[in-house]
Structure 1
Amino acid sequence: MKALMLPVLLWWSCAGTIWAANEPDAPGRTLAKQMIREDHELWITADHSKFKQLQQPFASGPQVTRACLGCHTEAAVQFHKTIHWTWKDPSDASGKIGKAGITLNNF
């Protein structure tokens, strides 16, 4: 019985992967693709290696965030207006499910 389980599990995982690859994009993936830009160079507005306040070791993520917000003073407000915070599930008829409504996964 155990010898049969491994091939069955392998087949099942491969079949699931093939099925998922052929499925249309999920709403979240479709929304995220709207944010992709091909011109990556245009995103760079400064050479951060030249900023003195960044030339130090950081012990934690929050320390890095504080250093960033020292110059990017409106970044938090701007981030809260991005798709990361404002999405709603288009398949929800009530229009309430999503990060901007009833959050299912709030990390």
Structure 2
Amino acid sequence: MARKRAWAIGAAAFAAGAATALAVAATWSSQPQVTVSAKPAASVTPQTREGLVTAWTAELKKAGKARPDGWQVLTTDEIRARYIHQKIANAPKTKDIDPGMYRHTG
């Protein structure tokens, strides 16, 4: 008699576990799926030399600077590097964005 009761309790526990697993699986599969785009996001950095010169000039103006003499002989990659450097230099600092979040670490 005790053996039948133990089997009945085990079967009930197994059934409860199986039902819980099915319920979790059902809700898991109904979650929104992530959509992956086939094409990459558009680049924020200009790709043409003319676009890079325009963007670089704008970043230099924000910093109160002008293009250096002889900038015309720079390659497109050099202009891109200088533009990205100036853009990073012009980026707001943490203490300017949210003074309460700024913490001097050393």
Give the TM-score taking structure 1 as reference length. 0.22
TM-score by length of 2: 0.23
Q: Greater helix percent: which structure?
A: 2
Higher relative contact order (CA 8 A, sep 6+): 2
